[in-house]
Structures are given as C-alpha cells and as structure tokens.
C-alpha cells in the first residue's frame, strides 16, 4: 500500500545569539583644488588616526588600510557637471572583539578630531558557521521527530533520507550598535553602558524520507 511512498517534513531550528565581534568600516575623504593637496590631506588624516588607535583601545595591526583612490570632484552648474577640484578616498577596516567602550570612543572622535571620517559599525559573531551548525542540528532534530510521529501514525517506519533542502545563503548577524552608543554617549562606569542584547536567528530545513513497511 505504501510502496514508493515518501514524506516531506519541515523542521525549524532557532537559537539566541549574543554578538561577540564587531566589524568597523572607516571611510576617509579629503578634497582640494589640487590632487597632490587632496592626497596629502588624506594621508595626514590616516597617520593621525593610526596614532590615535592605542587611545581608542585598538592595536595598530588591527587597522587594515585600503587602497587610496583619487578622482575629480564634480559640481552641477547650469545644467551640466563641471570639474571642481579633486577628491582622495580611502576605506579602512577593523575587526575586533566587541567592546562598546571602544565604540563610544571611536564615535566620539568622529566629527570633532576627524570631520572627514565616516564610520559604520556592525555587531556580529566571530564564528557564524558555529551558530549555523547549531541551528541546523536543531532543525534536523525537529523534522526527524515530526517524521517519526507521522510514520508511526501511518504504521510505517522511516526509511532512508532522499533529500535535504535548506537556504544555504549565509545567515545575517549584522546588528547596529545602540543609538546612544552611536551618539558617543559617556558613561560613568561600565555598568551603566547599554547591554548588548541577544538576537534570535532561525533556519528551516525540509527533509524527504522514504516510508517502509514495519519490520
């Protein structure tokens, strides 16, 4: 009766993740009527920022410098774009263990000491593959438990797995820092700083089994 019968069951795995890592993007930019002046201003900003890293709590080797790009600056005048000097840009990056005190200090110098610097910070996890593995284990266990119940109700037993399907795109763990941290708020003690909250992440798997007659 159940020859060549299959069942397809979905399972969900869900975990709570507390960010432990941060990725920082630093965009430096300078402009001038002369390309060499724009380049010199950018180079000076990079050197000044590098010299401040220890004050911010970072190690010098944590800063990854990108390539410097030079381009003409354009302005829209009388219905057309015209050259208006030159721009030098450089995108740098820092990856480090999550520390909100460092983040507050970093946002604190942006705009005051480095008005030409824009910062984007994302809280994440250092090893997303470990989190994904935990989620998938739970999802498979959930699907298997459901399949066993259904097979038993049909007076059948689970045969071999025929296929497994899930969204294999990378799970997103990027989280923005709290608003008052972005604003460079100052706290009298570490206890007053906003807590980094856990985030829920989940994944669904779909597993197809063959149903077999009971032994």
Q: CATH 3.30.70.2970 region(s) of the chain?
A: 21-124
Q: Which fold has domain 6-18+127-212?
A: Translation Initiation Factor IF3 (3.30.110)
Q: pTM of the prediction?
A: 0.76
| Nearest-angstrom CA–CA distance, 123 and 114 | 23
| Nearest-angstrom CA–CA distance, 108 and 102 | 10
Q: How many residues does the chain have?
A: 215
Provide CATH code, domain 21-124: 3.30.70.2970
Q: CATH 3.30.110.170 region(s) of the chain?
A: 6-18+127-212
Are 117 and 45 spatial neighbours (Cβ–Cβ below 8 Å)? Answer: yes
Tens of pLDDT along the chain (215 residues)? 445 789 999 999 999 999 999 999 999 999 999 989 999 999 999 999 999 998 889 998 999 999 999 888 777 777 777 778 899 999 999 999 999 888 888 888 877 788 888 999 999 999 988 999 999 999 999 999 999 999 999 999 999 999 999 887 766 788 887 766 655 555 544 456 667 888 899 999 999 999 999 87
Task: Give how far the C-alpha of residue 135 lies from the chain's centroid of Cα atoms, to the nearest Å.
Answer: 18
* 24 half-sphere exposure, CB direction, 13 A CA radius: 26
């Amino acid at each position: 009766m159940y020859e060549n019968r299959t069942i397809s069951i979905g399972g969900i795995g869900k975990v709570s993740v507390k960010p432990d890592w941060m990725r920082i993007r630093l965009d430096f930019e300078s402009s001038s009527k002369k390309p060499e002046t724009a380049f010199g201003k950018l180079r000076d900003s990079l050197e000044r920022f590098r010299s401040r890293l220890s004050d911010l709590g970072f190690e010098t080797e944590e800063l990854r410098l990108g390539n410097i790009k030079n381009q003409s600056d354009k302005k829209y005048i009388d219905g057309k774009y015209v050259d208006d000097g030159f721009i030098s840009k450089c995108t740098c990056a820092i990856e480090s263990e999550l520390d909100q005190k460092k983040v507050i200090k970093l946002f604190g110098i942006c705009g005051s000491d480095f008005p030409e610097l824009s910062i984007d910070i994302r809280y994440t996890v250092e090893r997303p593959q470990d989190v994904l593995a935990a989620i998938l284990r739970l999802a498979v266990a959930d699907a298997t438990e459901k399949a066993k119940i259904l097979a038993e109700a049909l007076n059948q037993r689970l045969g071999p797995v025929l296929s497994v399907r899930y969204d294999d795109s990378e799970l997103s763990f990027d989280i923005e820092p709290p608003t008052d941290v972005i604003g460079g708020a100052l706290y009298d003690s570490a206890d007053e700083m906003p807590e980094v909250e856990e985030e829920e992440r989940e994944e669904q798997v779909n597993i197809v089994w063959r149903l077999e007659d009971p032994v």
